[in-house]
Amino acid sequence: MFGRSRKSYHAGERVLSRCRPRIFLHSKSAIIKIIFFLILVYFFRSVVNLAVIIQNEIINTVKVPLVETTVMIMFGLMFLLILWAILDIISWKYTEYQLTTLRIITKRGIFSKKRAYVYYDKIEDISIYQSFLERMLSSGDIEVFSGHENTHVVLTNVPHPEVLEDKINQIMNGDWKSFRSKNSRKNYYNPEKSFKKKLSFSDPEYWETEKSSNKPEIKPEAKEDKNSPKKEKHVMERHSERFKRR
């Protein structure tokens, strides 16, 4: 996914939090399309029968394959509705909101990708909007306003918007270590590691590293423990011999 590209981050930038919209709210249009598809399926036979009646009435005056045309139009509409609904659902997978140590990033789009961001030091105001349905599902829209050319970033249908707003305020105040994710090391962009030199056979450094890696490991000799079982056995034998002599 395009959200994993390291080139889209600055040196030293770290992703602190990731989230996606609520899939139910994000796919509202897909649900509406599926409902229309079911309506077409339910009335399919009635529409075809109506087309047959109309064709029988006008067959003497106009010779038009009305039934075949109606069936093709109905199948075409159903196919487009299903395809459109599937694309709406897939678009949820390619919608992501990120909070990094420097900025807020939004990523959208399947074929045409759209990426927007705003830096924390440019933020002037944050507002939250929740409809009745969003309040029932504990989600809402967060709009972040920036003073740079009146730009703003909208995070739509995010789960628990109050929690996300608190995280943004914590990062702006410099207190972001308290909710740092466990995978923060993976999300850390280190340019020196990314552009590490790959050694070839012609480089002398390659053979030096090979020699150092092929050196046998010298294990330190294990020191004899005074309380070892062999030592105890030897001491017991000496005491038994002295006891016999007496």
**Rounded Cα–Cα distance for residues 100 and 172 (Å):** 11
What pLDDT tens digit does each residue of the chain (246 aa) get? Answer: 334 455 577 777 888 888 899 888 888 888 888 999 999 999 998 988 888 888 887 766 666 677 888 889 999 999 999 999 898 889 888 999 999 888 999 998 888 888 888 888 888 889 999 989 888 988 999 999 887 666 788 999 999 999 998 888 888 887 766 655 444 444 444 444 444 445 554 555 555 555 555 555 555 555 555 555 554 555 556 656 655 555
Q: What angle do CA 60, 65, 49 make, to 5 degrees?
A: 90
pLDDT of residue 216: 55
CA 75 from centroid of its chain's CA atoms: 36
From 170, 168, 162, select the one nearest 141 (Cα to Cα). Answer: 162
Task: Give the domain ranges of the chain.
Answer: 15-21+96-179+186-193, 28-92
Contact 155, 164 (CB under 8 A): yes
pTM of the model: 0.61
- Helix or strand (DSSP H, E) at 204: helix 204-214
Please work out, in degrees rounded to the nearest 5, the angle formed at the alpha carbon of residue 195 by the alpha carbons of 192 and 197.
105
CATH fold of 15-21+96-179+186-193 = PH-domain like (2.30.29)
